[in-house]
Amino acid sequence: MAKRKKTTDPKVAERRAARKAAQQAIASGDDAAQPYRAFQGLPGEVDWVAMREVVPAASATARTTADHGAVDIEVVTLLPRLWPAMKRSDGVVLVALQTASSSGDPSRDVAAALLQAVDLEPGTALEHLELPESGPRLQDVLDLDVPFEVTVHDTFAYTVPADGSAPDEAAAALEEAAEGIVPTVRLTGVEGAYWCRMGEREFLRWARPEEPEALLDALARLHADRASGLDEGSRFVGAFRSCGILVPVWELPDGAEAADVEAPVAEFAPRLDAALASTEPLTPEQRRARAGLVSRQVSLR
């Protein structure tokens, strides 16, 4: 794929000037603090985090605001050579969540890549992103009324236009990497839950919107009562933490498929909600259970 090309299109120049003005305006205010929950306020916050951290290949729909051209885009997990963004030969803008570098605010990073990708010539890539110290965030750039609809893929074919035209060498290399994709399925009954198969073991990773400390309390209440499993054949094994979101993980019964998990998750959800609603102090047993959960927690980026 060719390198990014310069253009003298007046509309492009106008958009760039507007971006620069917005960045200067934000920089003049109190913009130094890094957000605790980078994707908070976006439709599908938990799916943004899951796609950034635990889903190998997926795409989702989004659209920029009218001020930014009302451009339909695809947010994806990964692009060839860890590019931040690209514009396919058919003009579709792709912006990636899993990239080579990140500042303290991934929402700002992705917004910066997105706005630059809109101005790319079709068939070119944004190969490198200077991480912004200030500027608009996704919450400022995207139309928040457009649903964030996630599609999980078993290849990286989303880099290829719908007409089936052949990918370039970089995209072809990424397709070869698809052989290592962990089989993953997004559950339909709840938000942010993804079944996956790693080797001969199956897991559920469920990104949750609650504050992590409150969620840990709730899981500890259930764990102390031996009720933290989704069903008799599963067990809670720990959690990831990223972008202010906790992603609990369960090991599933041998051979469990994604469809097998839908009912247990639906039955578990009310138990978890009840534990979240409890205002009683944790008992000594629950505090010990919570300490064990924290010790198995992994913080990502």
pLDDT digits (tens, 9 = 90+) for 206-249: 999 999 999 999 999 999 999 999 998 999 999 999 999 999 99
- The radius of gyration computed from the CA coordinates of the chain, to the nearest angstrom, equals 21
Place of tokens 């690209």: 86
Q: Is 41 exposed, middle or buried (0-12, 13-18, 19+ CB in 10 A)?
A: middle
Place of tokens 């080797």: 199
Q: Which residues pair with 271 in a beta bridge?
A: none
Summarize pLDDT for 142-185 with one digit per residue, the tens: 999 999 999 999 988 888 887 766 555 566 667 777 778 999 99
Q: Are 76 and 94 in contact (CB under 8 A)?
A: yes
Q: Are 297 and 237 in contact (CB under 8 A)?
A: no
pTM of the model: 0.85
Closest CA to 170 of 127, 121, 128: 127
Q: Are 215 and 246 in contact (CB under 8 A)?
A: yes
Domain topology for 184-299: Yope Regulator; Chain: A, (3.30.1460)
Backbone angles phi, psi at 141, to 5 degrees: -95, -30
- What pLDDT was estimated at residue 178? 78
CATH 3.30.1460 in the chain: give the residue spans: 184-299
Close Cβ partners of 294 (under 8 Å, ≥ 6 residues apart): 216
Half-sphere exposure of 221 (CA within 13 A, CB side): 17
